[in-house]
Amino acid sequence: MKKIIELKNISKSFDGEKVLDNISLDIYDNEFLTLLGPSGCGKTTTLRIIGGFEQPDEGDVLFMGERINDVPAHKRNVNTVFQRYALFPHLDVYENVAFSLRERKVAKDEVDRQVTEMLSLVMLSNFAHRKVTSLSGGQQQRVAIARALIARPKVLLLDEPLGALDLKLRKDMQQELKKIQKATGITFIFVTHDQEEALTMSDTVVVMSDGRIQQIGTPTDVYNEPQNAFVADFIGESNIVDGIMLEDFKVKFSGHTFECVDKGFERGEAVDVVVRPEDVDIVREEDGMLRGVVTSVTFMGVHYEIIVDIGGFKWMIQTTDFVDVDEHIGLSIEPDAIQIMKKSEYSGMFGDYSTYSDEAEELSEIELGELEEFESAGVDDED
């Protein structure tokens, strides 16, 4: 595969605050790559540096092998679908889509041909002469995509493009975007804070936090083999406990020695152990590798989400079997359900469900959402 964009040791600060800290990333042709992370992690800044709207303080941006740090946005073969679309309110749908062709003085019937084609790609053929302000969020979104794609960029940048859509529409647009990406063969760089979105759409997921890249990998890689506690916690639910690597394929945590599939650690090395809630089997108490008391049970539709107190540490377990609160149960974990990670700065910060409640989770999500609305309304927001 051909490298299309390379970021080399990029750093960027705003007002003395480091937003990007020595980021290096290769992006390949035809790839659907997602920059995933919480707000303030630097993902949008990374995108804006690729788009040419910000200059890195240090490091180089390469486009097909050529350094483009000083190439202004309008001369880059890269187009952007902006957060909240940024459609031109004084132009109708047709003229919005035709915008870049007009700038290049493309002949009138060629403009007509391309705009018609693009509008049918995004299923807006009947809306050509509508005002953009009269369109729904989903339709505006499609206009924004058509407007960016018609310039035939090598790379399309998408800055949280689905953030303002409701859940149903968002799922549809995810499928559609993926389809468009396959059909056009254009590299998509997609920014989101929604881990589910990232996992379903991407070829490559780049997990970011605190201005640094935490992990680069396929969706299955980052889910099944998170490299540190941050990634394990940010993507999906995780129980993260302290463990000690006794020898290759043998780890001890929560007072029990488990077989595992990891090796290459020092003997006796302290590690973080990740066990996904859906990978834990409930067995009779006397058959369990670990034993604990159920402290809460929540019905989630497909499964129950239960919290189990094991020696003071609370685990989350997803199961289709019903158990009752205060029941004593045993837990069994298969070797390949155990993921061992090196200790990192994020150790001990995540993966304990002792303060967990659905309400608290929802609350914090709402706050996060509001925060982002607030940020994206601002002018010089970095992320």
Partner 1 sequence: MKTKGKPVWGLLGPYTLWAAVFIVVPLIFVAYYAFTDNSFSFTFDNLLRFFNDRSQVGDTEVRTYMLIFWRSLKLAVISTVICFVLGYPLAYIMSRASDRNQKIMMTLIMIPMWMNFLIRTYAWMTILQDTGLLNGFLTRIGLEKIHIIGTEGAVVIGMVYDYLPYMVLPIYSVMAKLDVRLIEAARDLGCNNFGVLRRVIFPLSMPGVLSGINMVLIPSVSTFYISQKLGNGKFFLIGDAIEGQYVANNLHFAAAMAFILMIILIAMMALIKKFTNDMAYGGEEV
Q: For partner 1, give the closer residue by CB, 71 or 246.
A: 71
Q: Which is nearer to partner 1, 92 or 305 (CB)?
A: 92
Q: Which stretch binds partner 1 (CB under 8 A): 2-10, 94-102, 181-189, 327-335?
A: 94-102
Site for partner 1 in 37-56 (CB under 8 A): 51-53
Using alpha carbons, list the distances in angstroms from residue 53 to 50, 151, 161.
8, 18, 17
Interacting residue with partner 1 among 43, 142, 147, 193 (CB under 8 A): 147
Cβ-Cβ contacts under 8 Å for 56 (sequence gap 6 or more)? 10, 11, 12, 20, 49, 69
Residue 297 tokens, joined: 């049970």
The CB-of-367 to partner 1 minimum distance in angstroms stands at: 24
Taking the C-alpha atoms of 40, 43, 47 and 52 in order, what is their torsion angle to the nearest 10 degrees?
A: 40
Cβ-based burial of 355 (10 A; exposed 0-12, middle 13-18, buried ≥19): exposed
Q: Could you give the CA distance from residue 162 to residue 157 in angstroms, rounded to a whole number?
A: 13
Using CB under 8 A as the binding rule, whether residue 88 contacts partner 1 is answered as yes
- Binding residues for partner 1, rule CB under 8 A, total 29
Alpha carbon distance 138, 176 (integer Å): 11
Q: Is 73 in the site for partner 1 (CB under 8 A)?
A: yes
Indicate whether 80 belongs to the interface with partner 1 (CB under 8 A).
yes
Q: How far apart are the first and last CA of the chain?
A: 30
CB of 83 to partner 1, least distance (A): 8
Helix (H, G, I), strand (E, B) or coil at 9: strand
Residue 76 Cβ, how far from partner 1 at the closest point, in Å?
8
Stretch that binds partner 1, among 66-74, 192-200, 305-313, 319-327 (CB under 8 A): 66-74
168 binds partner 1 (CB under 8 A): no
**Quick one: 104 or 168, whose CB is closer to partner 1?**
104
CB of residue 229 to partner 1, shortest distance in Å: 36
Asked if 154 and 187 touch (Cβ cutoff 8 Å), the reply is yes
> Can you give the binding site for partner 1, defined by CB under 8 A?
51-53, 72-74, 78-80, 82-84, 86-92, 95, 99-100, 102-104, 147-148, 151, 379
